Amino acid sequence: MIAMTHFMKTLLIALIVLFPAIANGTMTIRNYSAASHSRFYTGADKNFIGALYDFSGVGYSSDGRWATLVSDNYFISAAHLHPATAQTVTFCTSNDPKGTKYTYTVAGGTKIGSTDLWIGWFDTTVNPSIERYPILTLPENNDYVGLELYNYGKQDIVGRNVVEFLCSSSCGGSTGFVAGYDYDNHDALSVGGDETYIITGDSGAPSFTVFDSNLTLFGIHWSHTSSVAVEGAISYDTFVPKYFDEVNAVLASGGQSLEAVPEPGMIWYLMVIAGALVLQRRRHALP
C-alpha cells in the first residue's frame, strides 16, 4: 500500500505502475471505435475526435516509449518508461500514416527530482513542421479541476476525460504531484463515450488541454489503480505545470525554454477583466 493525499485527506491506495509488461496493450476508451479514436485510421468513415488539433509532437520509439516535444529538441516522458540514450524516436507530421515522418536519436536525459518526469533531448533540432507544446499555467491548482483532457495512448488512440482532483502521490520509487481522472461514466456530457482509462504501456504518453484552440501539455501518464478498466478506477498523470520551473531549468542548459500559456501578463489581465465583470453584475443586482 502507498500513502497519498486526496483533497487534503490521507488515503491508502494500491497504485500499479504502468510497466511495459503488456507490449500490445491499448488505452481503454469506453465506446471505442477506430473511426473516432484512432489517429491513423484511414477508412472513409473517419471522424477523429482530435481532427482539429496537432498531435505531430507526440513521438514513439520502436520499443514502445513515448516522447512529447516541448522545444526544438527537448521532450518529456516518464522516468520509469522513457526512450533511452541512443534510441530513436519517430514523429509523424499529420494524422495520415503515410505522411511525412522524421526520426531522431536521443542524446541524453535527466529525471526531474523525485518525480516520474523525465526530460530528454535529441542530437539535433527537430523539423519545424513538428509541433512544440506549450504548458497551460493557471493561477491556482484548483483552476485545473474540471478541465477536459485529450488523453493520448497506445496504439496512437485519443480519448477524453475530465480532471477530478490534484494531489501528491508516491509510486514505483517516485514521488510527485499528480492529476487524477476516473472511469465512472459520470463526467461532462461532452466526454460521453470517449471516456478513457490508461493501462499498461501508456506510461510516458501525454494528456492535453485546449487553450485558444490549440493543444497544451497537461500531464504525463504515470500510474493507475487497476490493471483493467473497472468502474471507479482512477488514472494518474504527473501534473506538468507544477514542475514548469524545474523543466525550464533543464532546457535553459541547452539555450531553450518552455512556452507558457497564457503568458503571465495575460493571466493578470484576465483576472482584472473577470473581477470587473463580477463588480458590474453586483451593481446591476442592487435594488
C-alpha cell at 4: 497519498
Structural domain contains residue 274? no
- What is the extent of the structural domain holding 94? 2-259
70-84, 96-110, 154-168, 269-283: lowest mean pLDDT where? 269-283
Q: Is residue 206 domain-resident?
A: yes
Q: Which helix (H) or strand (E) holds 217?
A: strand 214-224
In order of 11, 35, 169, 235, 236, the CA distances from 3 in angstroms are: 6, 40, 7, 16, 14
Examine residue 105 and state whether it is found in any structural domain, yes or no: yes
pLDDT value of residue 26: 76
Domain-embedded: residue 282: no
pLDDT number for residue 264: 55
Name the grid cell of 6: 486526496
Highest mean pLDDT: which range of 14-28, 208-222, 254-268: 208-222
Burial of residue 46 (number of CB atoms within 10 Å: 0-12, 13-18, 19+):
middle
Cβ atoms of 136 and 259 within 8 Å: the answer is no
> What does the pLDDT read at residue 20?
34
Q: Tell whether 270 is covered by a domain.
A: no
Q: What is the mean pLDDT of residues 150-160?
A: 95
| pLDDT computed for residue 275 by the predictor | 54
The model's pTM is 0.84
Query: Looking at residue 55, what is its pLDDT?
Result: 98
CB-based contact 128:113 (threshold 8 Å): no
Q: How many domains does the chain have?
A: 1
Residue at 284 is within a domain? no
Report the CATH number at residue 180: 2.40.10.120
Residue 281 has what DSSP assignment?
A: H
Gap between the Cα atoms of 163 and 62, Å rounded: 31
DSSP 141-205: GGGGTT-EEEEEETTTEEEEEE--EEEEEEETTEEEEEEEEEESS-S-TTTGGGBEE--TT-TT-
Q: 178 falls in which pLDDT band (50, 70, 90)? A: very high
Confidence band for 25, pLDDT divided at 50, 70 and 90: low
At 76 the pLDDT is 98
State mean pLDDT over 67-75: 98
Contact 183, 231 (CB under 8 A): yes
Query: For residue 258, is pLDDT > 80?
Result: yes
pLDDT, tens digit, 9 for 90 and up, residues 76-96: 999 999 999 999 999 999 999
Q: What is the pLDDT of residue 121?
A: 98
State yes or no: pLDDT of 3 exceeds 60: no
Residue 152 inside a domain? The answer is yes
Place of cell 509488461: 21
Query: Which helix (DSSP H) or strand (DSSP E) does residue 236 occupy?
Result: strand 233-239
Residue 174 lies in a domain: yes
